[in-house]
Amino acid sequence: MLSNLKPQAEDKILALMGQFRADPRQNKIDLGVGVYKDATGLTPVMRAVKAAEKQLWEAETSKSYTALAGEPAFHAAMAEMVFGANYPKDRLSALATVGGTGACRQAFELARIANPGFTIWVSNPTWPNHLSILSFLKQDHKLYRYFDSAARAVDFTAMMADLDGVKPGDVVLLHGCCHNPTGANLTLAQWSAVADLLEAKGAIPMIDLAYQGFGDGLDEDAAGTRLIAERLPEVLVAASCSKNFGIYRERTGILMVLSDPADRALTQGTLAYLNRQTYSFAPDHGARLVTMILTDPALRTEWQTELEAVRQGMLGLREQLAAELKRLSNSDRFDFIAQHRGMFSRLGATPEQVEQMRIKNGIYMVGDSRLNIAGLNAETVPILAQAVIDAGV
């Protein structure tokens, strides 16, 4: 049986991680993997997470199973963070998942059960896992144009022209903020126009919200998602706690579904069914820490203070890199870096130029020139800027 297996395509980002680890150069720079790092290259445990873990260690009396869909307190805390304090409790169904990836997978599965003939529309470009999972599921999907590679900005006219083709019951996948891999976000006016289109077409929005708090602020980054939630009768939101709480290895995510109140119980039961068919119970440790932080005023203040410092640090690196490239190039063609938000931007380099920077400078980024801003620090920004200019970007 096993001899019939065929080699699977290697994940490009994971392959890049392997190349980086094997590189003996001391001054190499990792801008590939989408993990937050501080100025020392460490992904630190946040202070509020440490404090919550200590409290949990002292108070926890059992490691028994929790609820199949996750704890209601986790659902409520995350719903309040994403949708706001006055979120519609009578419309909400929720499911604790194995990270944000698990939330996306379960959202796709839910849509397949509810409407087997649907098509999912995905931005071009998007996070590679979206397309990988959809292809694995053999799920019909189409790409809509999103990014103008020349302007390094959202091509909203093209996006809306493509989405004009959605059919009733189709799902449109949107990035809530800090678009991966481009860093180019929709404005609130554009979110409103998208809501108008989806409402007119009878399509269902699915929002992947993996970086809330990394762009313009915790509430600001949720503004588009909240607008959609208020305007559309059915909404899917896959949220990750990996980045904004720094708990990558705890695999903490959530799928939240807004529906007609009459459909809530049926939706919630189907969500629990999906967990049972895959991994039964999602990990609880990270979800419990997140719940403690979001519901304890002191812990929440500590967390938000540190999250804001992380956000401001990335903005500072963006501004420094844009300024250094402007100085070296004597042009404003790299100003988009300071205008983008979140961990990522697409530099606009060709795969050949990316490879040149890897070979000559030990700078590792994905072949489409997506770079992780958080992989830089004040000392490595000038090194990257000079390499970019030398490569002829």
pLDDT at 14 over 90: no
Strand partners, 92: 258
Q: Which residues are catalytic?
A: 127, 208, 210, 243
Q: Are 287 and 240 in contact (CB under 8 A)?
A: no
pLDDT at 8 over 90: no
Residue 382's domain comprises 11-44+311-390
Mean pLDDT computed over 130-143: 97
Residue bearing tokens 């979140």: 342
Q: If pLDDT is split at 50, 70 and 90, which confidence band does 280 have?
A: very high
Q: If pLDDT is split at 50, 70 and 90, which confidence band does 17 have?
A: confident
Percent of all residues in the chain with a pLDDT value above 90, rounded to a whole number: 93
What CATH number is attached to the domain comprising 384?
Answer: 3.90.1150.10
Residue 94 within a domain: yes
The CA-based angle 90-92-94, given to 5 degrees, is: 145
Residue 59 within a domain: no
Same domain, 205 and 78: yes
What tens digit of pLDDT does each residue of 236-265 get? 999 999 999 999 999 999 999 999 999 999
pTM, full prediction: 0.96
What tens digit of pLDDT does each residue of 78-105 get? 999 999 999 999 999 999 999 999 999 9
Residue 41 has what pLDDT?
Answer: 85
Same domain, 234 and 92: yes
Q: If pLDDT is split at 50, 70 and 90, which confidence band does 52 have?
A: very high
Same domain, 284 and 323: no
In the chain, what are the helix, strand and coil shares in percent, each to the nearest 5? 50, 15, 35
What tens digit of pLDDT does each residue of 370-390 get? 999 999 999 999 999 999 999
Structural tokens at position 109: 């599965």
What tens digit of pLDDT does each residue of 186-213 get? 999 999 999 999 999 999 999 999 999 9
Structural tokens at position 192: 């409103």
Structural tokens at position 334: 């790299």
Mean pLDDT computed over 157-179: 98
Pairing of strands 204-209, 171-175: parallel
**Alpha carbons 273 and 7: distance in angstroms, whole number:** 32
Residue bearing tokens 């305007």: 231
Residue 34 has what pLDDT?
Answer: 84
Residue 347 has what pLDDT?
Answer: 92
Domain boundary among 260, 295, 330: 295
Residue 75 has what pLDDT?
Answer: 98
Residue 251 within a domain: yes
| 176: phi then psi, degrees, rounded to nearest 5 | -65, -40
Same domain, 282 and 364: no
Residue 270 has what pLDDT?
Answer: 98
**Alpha carbons 296 and 55: distance in angstroms, whole number:** 12
Residue 106 within a domain: yes
